[in-house]
């Protein structure tokens, strides 16, 4: 029997502004922290930047046609804060808002529901100059920006994500230095994580308080973490990795507290004095749904001593886990080197439904990079097809086990700027030729369209 998705299950695809838009200097857009990082020699693997990317800013109609052509009825996109508030202050750039106005209208005309993300990592550089997410004030500026966007688009956009993957913004941005703003200061990372979450809470409050109904979610990147053995060292390694990667965000947002064991682990570094009275109430106020970005799982092993990074190796982003390593699961890896582990997605969904019940869930990102080649105008990507099918099957497994899973968004609609990896890693269902800007739907796009049409994995 083919396995079917519930009739109301939403199928979509996701992108992010900096990764696809280009038009970096157009219509008053201000610089973001990623423009600054890209200009730093050695920061981006292929020396590239986001100035043109997929040129989506000019080709958005065609890109929406591609989405509609695949039969997708939902699009998870992000809004570039530096287009709306180029200086990060009170000044609003009308031309930036007008772009998203047109984009949202374009979706609705094609029967595509907009899922808007307010922060997918492109902080206005002007705010970074004032301390970025290390500065509590940025959380308040974020809420103001959220209110401006909702005022303009809220008559057509109902579903909002505040933050995409706050762990990445905080820890890849401030501890390992791989992401913007490229810092390597563990305390800055923990501080930034709190201010990001405070920004989430304040923005959610602003969105819920607006004149239009708003359904607000946050999107952490979650991993199943399993100890490599049942030795005490491996069990403790798994506890800590799970704590800093998963529970720090889930507990804050859903329980209104930071996990006590990790607070204790962090104690030698910081007493968290930047957490003010009432912050966790703000952070854990009403949440309408939770998004899960899922790519891989971790097998955690505890080491006898902290790993000393090799020369030129970045420090670990997992602050408090310097004596933890992740070991391969022995199965194939994607072009990112990430273990493929579909059962981890089912386990995470079931865990969320158990530990934090009554919360609608979406898989807001899932996908894989492969070293695609074009053959006679086509891209045959059997590995991406298999990855997609296996993870959709994992979603069905979770639904069978009673999880309230409402939808799935493939990452990504298009090949795009993969952050520190530049254009060297391709996640798209649709190939982008960065010279000609030609788009070619890959075999995985055709397979996804078939699944969406039949609503089954038959
Ligand atoms: O490209 C990123 C995206 O911006 C956030 N989630 C993970 C993707 C793949 O690394």
pLDDT beyond 80 at 325: yes
What spacing in Å lies between the alpha carbon of 164 and ligand 1's midpoint?
9
Among 161, 171, 412, 413, which residue has the most ligand 1 atoms within 8 Å of its CB, making it the best to mutate? 412
At 364, list the tokens: 């807001």
> Quick one: average pLDDT of 20-49?
98
- Residue 411, ligand 1, Cβ within 6 A: yes
Q: For ligand 1, atom 10, which residue shows the shortest CA distance? A: 418
Report pLDDT digits (tens) over 264-274. Answer: 999 999 999 99
pLDDT at residue 342 in the model: 98
Q: How confident is the model at residue 50 (pLDDT cuts 50, 70, 90)?
A: very high
Contact predicate 21/56, CB 8 Å: yes
Half-sphere exposure of 90 (CA within 13 A, CB side): 0
Place of tokens 């965000």: 249
Q: Which domains does the chain have, with CATH numbers?
A: 3-457 (3.20.20.80)
Q: Where are the alpha helices (DSSP H) in 70-214?
A: 81-84, 94-109, 125-128, 137-153, 166-167, 173-174, 186-209
At 214, list the tokens: 């708003």
- Nearest-atom number in ligand 1 for the CA of 367 is 9
Task: Assess whether 365 carries a catalytic annotation.
Answer: yes
Least confident of 244-248, 276-280, 309-313, 386-390: 309-313
pLDDT at residue 100 in the model: 98
pLDDT beyond 90 at 309: no
Percent over 90 (pLDDT), the chain: 97
Please give the Cα distance from 141 to 113 (Å, whole number): 27
Please give the Cα distance from 122 to 143 (Å, whole number): 15
> Quick one: average pLDDT of 328-332?
91
> Quick one: average pLDDT of 102-117?
98
- Of 193, 390, 413, nearest to 294 by C-alpha is 390
- Residue 413, ligand 1, Cβ within 6 A: no
Give the chain's mean pLDDT: 97
Report pLDDT digits (tens) over 293-303. Answer: 999 999 999 99
Question: What b-and-e string marks burial along 131-151, b requiring 16 or more CB atoms within 10 Å of the CB?
Answer: ebbbbbebbbbbbbbbbbbbe
Catalytic residue among 93, 128, 165, 341: 165
pTM summary value: 0.98
Q: For ligand 1, atom 9, which residue shows the shortest CA distance? A: 418
- Residue 16, ligand 1, Cβ within 6 A: yes
- Of 388, 342, 382, nearest to 368 by C-alpha is 388
- Nearest-atom number in ligand 1 for the CA of 369 is 9
pLDDT at residue 458 in the model: 83
């Amino acid at each position: 029997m083919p396995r079917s998705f519930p009739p109301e299950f939403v199928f979509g695809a996701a992108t992010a502004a900096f990764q696809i838009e280009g038009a970096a200097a157009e219509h008053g857009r201000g610089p973001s922290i990623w423009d600054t990082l890209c200009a730093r020699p050695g920061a981006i693997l292929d020396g590239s930047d986001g100035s043109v990317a997929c040129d989506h800013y000019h080709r958005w109609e065609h890109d929406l046609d591609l989405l509609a052509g695949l039969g997708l009825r939902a699009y998870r996109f992000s809004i570039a804060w530096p287009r709306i508030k180029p200086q990060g202050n009170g000044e609003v750039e009308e031309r930036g808002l007008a772009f998203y106005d047109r984009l949202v209208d374009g979706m609705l005309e094609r029967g595509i529901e907009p899922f808007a993300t307010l922060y997918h990592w492109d902080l206005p550089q002007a705010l970074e100059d004032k301390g970025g997410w290390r500065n509590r004030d940025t959380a308040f500026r974020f809420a103001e920006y959220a209110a401006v966007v909702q005022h303009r688009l809220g008559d057509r956009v109902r579903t909002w994500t505040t933050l995409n993957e706050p762990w990445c913004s905080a820890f890849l941005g401030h501890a390992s230095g791989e992401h913007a703003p490229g810092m390597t200061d563990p305390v800055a990372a923990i501080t930034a994580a709190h201010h990001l979450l405070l920004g989430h809470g304040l923005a959610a409050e602003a969105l819920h308080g607006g004149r239009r109904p708003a359904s607000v979610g946050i999107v952490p990147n979650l991993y199943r973490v399993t100890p490599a053995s049942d030795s005490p060292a491996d069990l403790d390694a798994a506890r800590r990795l799970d704590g800093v990667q998963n529970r720090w965000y889930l507990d804050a947002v859903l329980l209104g507290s930071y996990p006590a064991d990790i607070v204790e682990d962090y104690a030698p570094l910081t007493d968290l004095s930047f957490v003010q009275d009432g912050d966790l109430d703000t952070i854990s106020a009403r949440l309408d749904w939770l998004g899960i970005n899922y790519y891989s799982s971790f097998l955690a092993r505890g080491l006898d001593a902290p790993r000393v990074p090799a020369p030129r190796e970045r420090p670990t982003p997992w602050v408090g886990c310097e004596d933890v390593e992740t070991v391969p699961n022995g199965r194939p890896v994607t072009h990112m080197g990430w273990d493929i582990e579909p059962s981890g997605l089912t386990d995470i969904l079931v865990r969320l439904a158990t530990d934090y019940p009554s919360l609608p869930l979406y898989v807001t990102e899932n996908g894989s990079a492969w070293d695609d080649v074009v053959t006679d105008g086509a891209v045959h990507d059997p590995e991406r097809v298999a990855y997609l099918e296996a993870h959709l099957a994992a979603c069905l497994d979770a639904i069978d086990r009673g999880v309230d899973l409402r939808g799935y968004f493939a990452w990504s609609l298009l090949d795009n700027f993969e952050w520190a990896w530049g254009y060297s890693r391709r996640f798209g269902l649709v190939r982008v030729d960065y010279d000609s800007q030609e788009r070619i739907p890959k075999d995985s796009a055709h397979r996804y369209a078939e699944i969406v049409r039949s609503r089954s994995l038959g």
